[in-house]
Every structure is written in C-alpha cells, then in structure tokens.
Structure 1
C-alpha cells in the first residue's frame, strides 16, 4: 500500500518487562505487514521500575503494591494479555513465580547491540526470554547468554554489563524521552511528530498507517 520512497520512521519507547509493549509491537507489526508499509523502527529505553532492587520482585506483589490491584484483577489482566498475545503470535507464560526486574543493565546491553545494528533482534529476544521462558533478567550472565544466542559476543556483553560502560548514554536517552513528555509505555512516535500511546490493536494501527499515508500524498 505504502509506496513512498522514504520509509516511515517509527520510534518506540518501551521496556522489556512491559507486557503491553510486546503486545503493542506485535499488533503494529501486523498492521505494517497488512498495509505493506515501508518502515524503519528505532527502539528507545524506558525504565518502568527504576527503583526496583537487583533481585527484582514477584510480579503479582509488585502490581498490588504499585496500583492496588487485587488478586482477582491481576488474574483477569493476565488472561487478557495472554489472549491478546496469542492473537499476534506471542506466548505469555505467567505463573505465581513470575517476577519483574530493574532493567537499567538491559538497556545498556540494548544500546551496545544498537551499535552493531542488532538492537531490534535483541529487544525481541529479551521479550521472549522474560515473558515466555521466565529467565532471570537481573543476572548479567543470563543477559550475556541471551545476547550470545542471537550471535553477539558473550564475553563482550558480560564485560559491558559489569563495567556499566553505557550507563551515561542510557541515562541521557531516558532523559530525552522524559523531556518529550513520555511518561508511560509503549509510546510510538510516527515520523517524529505523531505520538500514540498504549497497545492500540491491529485495526487502530492500520487506520493510523492509512491516515499517515494520506497525509503524505
């Protein structure tokens, strides 16, 4: 559908422990495919839980403390997210032991992967590692192993995490997002101008893409 010479720029501000971020991305990906939209995706870091301790916290306990969510509401939310994930080919495997983590080191690893044009691949691998395979994303060795699984250098990945080599760069990037008014994720910015927040669904994303194409005609 979209035949313009210049690809649609899509900036996505997200965190890998945010279930709505992977749901929203997968919905957007389906809309991009359906509309045959030429595009380029740029991921940006956001920390949902910057004050989370390194060992993380049980997800259900965390949600109850942060939002006052009851056990029944939490279970219903998990059922909804699992169904929405399945609709776009992503498998959530929530359990009583599902945890959430501080993601600052993860964003440093993603920054490094971006220097090798592999941020997109690592981002998706981390979503799967967290939500499907329940891997311990606070463990630097686990993170380095995930990087190695997509073909990045495991030793260098571990060295980056242990040295905090890109801490300043990540802090700067997060500051830019805050200055742009980003307060929650997922936040999707089309062509640096049009901000859409939350997982919109395939139909809504399709409509947005069609509107953007009309604006460029």
Structure 2
C-alpha cells in the first residue's frame, strides 16, 4: 500500500472545489487497495475583502466577472447536474449570498491539529451549498465545529485570535508565490499539480502513474 500526500488548496464557497474533491474521492475509492491518501486542506480566499454579511451571489458574479443572469442560470444548472453525478447536493436560490471566509479558514487550520479538518471541511461545504448558511456567521461556524467534535469555547478563541488570521493570510501568500492562482488546486506527492476540477478518469490516471512509479523504484 502506497501512501500519497494530497494537498488541496480551496475555498469553502467554491463549488468547483467540492466537485473536484468528490471526483478525487471517487478515484481514490477505485484505488483503495493500492493507495492510502493523506489529505491536507489549505486556505485560498476568493473574496478576502467582502464585508460582514457578504454580497448577493449573482450580483457579485456580475460585478467581478461580468456574468450575465442568463450565464449564471446556465452555470447553476451545470453545477446541479455535476453535483448529482458526484453525490453532492447544490441548492441555489435567488438571494443566495457569497461570504468572506477568513474565519472559516482559521477554524480549518486549527482543526487539522485535532484530526478534524476533513470533517469540518465537508460540514462547511454542506452548510453553504446545501443548506444556504452564512459562512461569516460566528455562531454558524461554531455550531459546525461543535458538530464534528471540536470544543466550542476553544473554537471561539481561535476565531478571535489575530495570530490565526495572520496564519491564514501567510499560508495563502505561500501558495500564491508557488504559482497557485485559482482553485481547486490539488498537489499530489508535493510534485504533481492538478488545476481545476478534473474528471475522475484524469485523476485516476495520474494517481495510477504515481503508484506505479513508486512500485518500480
């Protein structure tokens, strides 16, 4: 059994990040007898300047990317379909908002030390995309952290600790300097960069190649 380190740079309000992860999960399931994945999640804030309360998602996409309402509807239909294919439920609605995710990333980095990062990451994706919860609401974040087994009081301290906010910013800066400009970015074995939500077949192919190279050395 070969252990493969997998670093995933993502944001919790990025729909392609959960699709990319679910496709990776499917590829790893196929290779479950050959590869043991050691997954680490890393922060990438898509909207670090958004104020508390966020912004209407459709208006945000129009302002930031020039996305028309028609294009937005088409994109949502595509994401709904792709979500169904990988077993994830997207529920988009007209007044859906997008949020600043700095505090969510503070909790995720801290949760890694307690072996709860993966669970919290999935809980955040579900809370935002399936249940429409606010990703900058402290009580929402604390509820989710508590649900995966983290201590609420400690988590509250992390949310108010400026050093954790700086750790998120510094980590993001390191990834930017490493050439990561968009998410999801998946790095296999600290050498192979996979950009975007690749198909399960593509991911499977790269993982098999890594596995076979390891077995020939």
TM-score > 0.5, shorter chain as reference: yes
Q: Which residue of 2 aligns with 1:11?
A: 7
TM-align CA RMSD = 1.1
Deviation digits for residues 138-176 of structure 1 (CA, Å, limit 9, x no counterpart): 111111011111111112212221333411211221111
Moved more, 7-16 or 165-174: 165-174
Output the CA distance in 2 between the equivalents of 1:122 and 1:139: 15
Q: Secondary structure of the equivalent of 1:47?
A: coil
Q: Which residue of 2 aligns with 1:154?
A: 152
Gaps of 5+ in 2: none
Q: Which residue of 1 aligns with 2:71?
A: 73
Cα displacement (A) at 1:197: 0.4
Q: Which residue of 1 aligns with 2:57?
A: 59
Output the CA distance in 1 between the equivalents of 2:88 and 2:53: 26
Task: Tell me the number of residue pairs that the alignment of Structure 1 and Structure 2 aligns.
Answer: 213
Q: Which residue of 1 aligns with 2:18?
A: 22
Structure 1 residues 82-161: aligned runs within 5 Å: 82-161=80-159
Output the CA distance in 2 between the equivalents of 1:101 and 1:213: 39
Output the CA distance in 2 between the equivalents of 1:189 and 1:180: 11
Contact map agreement 1:140 1:162 (CA 8 A) in 2: no
Instruction: Please give the TM-score of this superposition, normalised by the length of structure 1.
Output: 0.95
Output the CA distance in 2 between the equivalents of 1:112 and 1:8: 22
Q: Which residue of 2 aligns with 1:167?
A: 165
Cα displacement (A) at 1:125: 0.5
Is 1:192 equivalent to 2:155 in the alignment? Answer: no
Instruction: Please give the TM-score of this superposition, normalised by the length of structure 2.
Output: 0.95
Output the CA distance in 1 between the equivalents of 2:157 and 2:139: 10
Gaps of 5+ in 1: none
Contact map agreement 1:141 1:158 (CA 8 A) in 2: no
Is 1:35 equivalent to 2:31 in the alignment? Answer: yes
